[in-house]
Amino acid sequence: MTQNRREFISTIAAAGAAVPFINKLDSGILPTEPKKYPLRIFSKPLDSYDFGFMCECIAKSGIGGLDLTVRPGGKVEPADVEGKLPKLVEDAKRYNLALDMMVTGIISATDPLTERVLKTASGSGIKHYRLGYYEYDLKTGIWESLQKIKSSLKEVAALNKEYSIHGGYQNHAGARVGGPVWDLYELLRDLQPEFAGCQYDVRHAMVEGANSWILGMRLIAPYIKTLAIKDFTWITGNGKPRAVTVPMGEGMVNWDLFFKTVKELNISGPLTLHVEYPLLEKGEDKLPLLQQQEIIVRKLKKDIDFLNGYLTKYELN
């Protein structure tokens, strides 16, 4: 359900808290910005809320900024990018948050919206974006599909270079391109890593390669410029296994090996937290917004505290 800031402020006022959050966040909870590994959050689970409420939740959780959805059905529709995205970038600054990453559906340089989105994003200070997903054409063939996609991605990379922005393709579990991380090496090996690379997702890599994931990570390491962070476990239903995302530290991702390898290979860049488990349980979305925020912040902060523990352990912050 879509929430709005007026309702939130009314809730605070009714509770006797008359000072608006928009001008004054609690001094002890502003995010501390890491240098090599700034913490961001993939905005999707908060997109239904008013942008101000979203920013308050993120700032109170100790997260330094947003990885905003700028795609069909996202917080910003691509057709509205010039009018909306620069305003949200400025609004985020009022909460001491960076909006320097975005998630897009971009897969082609010939789409008329692609250049509009990249030009506006670059002009607004966004440095990284996630590409959309490519699919195999099984009639054409796997290898032939990759060669066709490689040509398309080369054109996108040229636009990225023109606008000084990096486009990263997320390896995602499943039968689409990039499920096998080796796909990405073939697609990226002739491109400049500064402008085209991978948003490496260790959760999806482990789902598809429980033991071999580390080899794929090593292979494409020079192209990894952002890291998607989430945990998972396997459940079985109707005799079929299914990977389910869970809060950080409650799943099966080998975080020690992951962060040890990040350090060894000198991989650096923003860490974008993907919260793909319920932030609110059944019925909690009917609570007053202030109570919803307390629940959301508590869960996000738990994930961030876990993540910060590993960054400290491996001296990455």
Q: For residue 17, what are the contacts with CB-CB under 8 A and spacing of at least 6?
A: 290
Residue 252 scores a pLDDT above 70: yes
Residues 166 and 196 sit within 8 Å (Cβ to Cβ) = yes
Averaged pLDDT, 239-259: 95
pLDDT for the residue 94: 97
Ranges of H-type helices in the chain: 5-14, 51-60, 81-93, 112-123, 142-162, 182-188, 202-208, 213-219, 255-264, 289-313
pLDDT for the residue 290: 96
At the fourth CATH level, the homologous superfamily of domain 34-313 is: Divalent-metal-dependent TIM barrel enzymes (3.20.20.150)
Predicted confidence band of residue 35 (pLDDT cuts 50, 70, 90):
low
Q: How far apart are CA 190 and CA 196, in angstroms?
A: 10
Encoded amino acid at 210, one letter: A
Task: State phi, psi for 159 to the nearest 5 degrees.
Answer: -65, -40
Residue 211 scores a pLDDT above 50: yes
Q: For residue 80, what are the contacts with CB-CB under 8 A and spacing of at least 6?
A: none
Residues 29 and 4 sit within 8 Å (Cβ to Cβ) = no
Q: How far apart are CA 182 and CA 271, in angstroms?
A: 22
Q: How far apart are CA 30 and CA 61, in angstroms?
A: 8
Predicted confidence band of residue 317 (pLDDT cuts 50, 70, 90):
confident
Residue 15 scores a pLDDT above 50: no
Residues in the chain: 317
Can you tell me whether residue 106 is helix, strand or coil? coil
Domain boundary assignment for the chain? 34-313
Residue 27 scores a pLDDT above 60: no
Q: Which two tokens stand for residue 17?
A: 């808290």
pLDDT for the residue 80: 98
DSSP structure string for 29-86: GSPP--SSS-EEEESGGGTTS-HHHHHHHHHHTT--EEEEEBSTTSSB-GGGHHHHHH
Going by the DSSP 8-state scheme, the letter that residue 190 receives in this structure is T
As a whole-number percent, the residues of the chain with pLDDT over 90 amount to 87
